[in-house]
């Protein structure tokens, strides 16, 4: 069975702000983090390890581009 969830633009925007603010404090404490997107299909687009971005996809989702620019 497949479920489709509908979110308003406000709900998505609010969640994006939580992600952006949370990563600034959480990522530096992580040994390893994989960042995923499911905008079109579920896929990993970045890997963060020991304080550094180890791998970043050539197609970073639009919703994450500004976050990534601030962290690199």
What pLDDT digit, counting tens, does each position of 15-64 carry? 555 555 556 667 788 899 898 888 888 999 999 999 888 999 999 888 78
pTM here is 0.63
Q: How many CA atoms lie within 13 A of 28 on its CB side?
A: 6
Q: If you average pLDDT over residues 67-71, what whole number do you get?
A: 71
pLDDT of residue 28: 80
- Does residue 3 register a pLDDT over 60? no
Residue-wise over 35-65: b if at least 16 C-beta within 10 A, else e?
A: bebeeeeeeebbebeeeeeeeeeeebbeebe
Which sign, positive or negative, has the C-alpha torsion 23, 41, 49, 66? Answer: negative
């Amino acid at each position: 069975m497949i479920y489709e969830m509908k979110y308003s633009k406000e709900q998505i925007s609010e969640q994006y702000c939580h992600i952006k603010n949370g990563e600034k404090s959480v990522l530096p404490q992580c040994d390893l983090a994989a960042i995923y997107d499911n905008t079109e299909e579920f896929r990993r687009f970045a890997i963060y390890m020991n304080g550094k971005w180890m791998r970043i996809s050539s197609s970073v989702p639009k919703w994450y581009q500004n976050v990534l620019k601030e962290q690199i």
